[in-house]
């Protein structure tokens, strides 16, 4: 929370307001926010409709990047099917939401209507439930003080990213380097990739020796963009004076 204590005292949390009114999110948005009650962000800035759509698109773009990452580990027909089933529909959705975003750039909450798209409408309601509202505006709607919702004690689960051991760190770095190199040169074979200096310097054990080529191959083989059976085709030299 970025509100200072003084600023916080001038606002009421959306869910506390809903609890006092004894209404659910959709009803709260329809009866109050869309009638002119202005939501505010944690930075005490007015929350405009376009900002919620922008944040929604950003989350979809992150999901698209994740799907693209998964597609990298496939090849041939499986990769094409995965792209058609997961990536292309998501790209189309994102473009649709971008068009909608362009249309509502200047909209305010007064007179605004929730979109018909279920996922986007849910994102609007969830964001507005968790926004802050000026008590000065709220008192025009409520004749009684807003009481914060009673919170029961719950065990707090703190997520800690798993600690990688040395071999896992080497694997991660090798995969990152291999991906960047194959983006520039997709015809490079796995055997050639293993001998690249970028891979070698990231495949050193704690005792100073190198991990085996078999181990490094297992780390990076699913990233190879040209995994087709058979040997790599030999590049033909250009014809000079009618002969090769």
Of residues 104, 105, 112, the one with CA closest to residue 36: 112
Of residues 112, 117, 118, 106, the one with CA closest to residue 50: 106
Give dist(CA 56, CA 61) in Å, integer.
9
Q: Which domain holds residue 108?
A: 5-138
194/128 same-domain check: no
Q: What is the pTM (predicted TM-score) of this model?
A: 0.56
111/175 same-domain check: no
Asked whether residue 17 is assigned to any structural domain, the reply reads yes
Q: For the segment 190-234, what is each residue's pLDDT rounded down to a tens digit?
A: 999 999 999 999 999 988 899 999 999 988 888 888 754 444 444
Of residues 63, 74, 228, 180, the one with CA closest to residue 83: 74
Give dist(CA 227, CA 73) in Å, integer.
10
Number of structural domains in the chain:
2
Q: Tell me what percent of the chain is helix, strand and coil, each rounded to the nearest 5.
A: 55, 5, 40
Query: Is 133:37 a contact under the CB 8 Å cutoff?
Result: yes
* Residue 19 predicted with pLDDT over 80: yes
**pLDDT score, position 1:** 43
The residue among 90 and 236 whose pLDDT is bigger is: 90
**pLDDT score, position 155:** 45
Asked whether residue 13 is assigned to any structural domain, the reply reads yes
Asked whether residue 69 is assigned to any structural domain, the reply reads yes
**Confidence bin at 46 (pLDDT 50/70/90):** confident
Asked whether residue 143 is assigned to any structural domain, the reply reads no
DSSP 3-state of 39: strand
Asked whether residue 75 is assigned to any structural domain, the reply reads yes
Asked whether residue 120 is assigned to any structural domain, the reply reads yes
């Amino acid at each position: 929370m970025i509100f200072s204590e003084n600023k916080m005292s001038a606002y009421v949390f959306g869910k506390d307001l809903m609890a006092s009114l004894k209404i659910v999110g959709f009803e709260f948005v329809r009866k109050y926010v869309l009638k002119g009650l202005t939501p505010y962000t944690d930075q005490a800035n007015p929350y405009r409709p376009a900002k919620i759509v922008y944040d929604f698109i950003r989350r979809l773009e992150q999901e698209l990047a994740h799907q693209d990452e998964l597609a990298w580990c496939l090849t041939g027909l499986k990769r094409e099917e995965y792209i058609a089933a997961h990536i292309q529909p998501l790209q189309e959705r994102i473009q649709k939401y971008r068009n909608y975003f362009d249309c509502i750039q200047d909209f305010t909450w007064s007179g605004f209507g929730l979109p018909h798209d279920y996922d986007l409408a849910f994102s609007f309601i969830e964001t507005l439930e968790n926004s802050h509202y000026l008590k000065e505006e709220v008192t025009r709607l409520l004749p009684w003080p807003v009481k914060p919702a009673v919170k029961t004690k719950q065990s707090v689960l703190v997520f800690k990213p798993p600690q990688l051991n040395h071999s896992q760190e080497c694997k991660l770095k090798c995969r990152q380097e291999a991906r960047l190199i194959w983006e520039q040169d997709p015809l490079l074979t796995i055997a050639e990739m293993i001998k690249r200096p970028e891979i070698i310097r990231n495949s050193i054990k704690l005792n100073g020796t190198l991990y085996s080529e078999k181990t490094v191959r297992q780390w990076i083989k699913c990233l190879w963009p040209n995994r087709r059976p058979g040997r790599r085709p030999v590049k033909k030299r250009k014809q000079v004076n009618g002969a090769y």
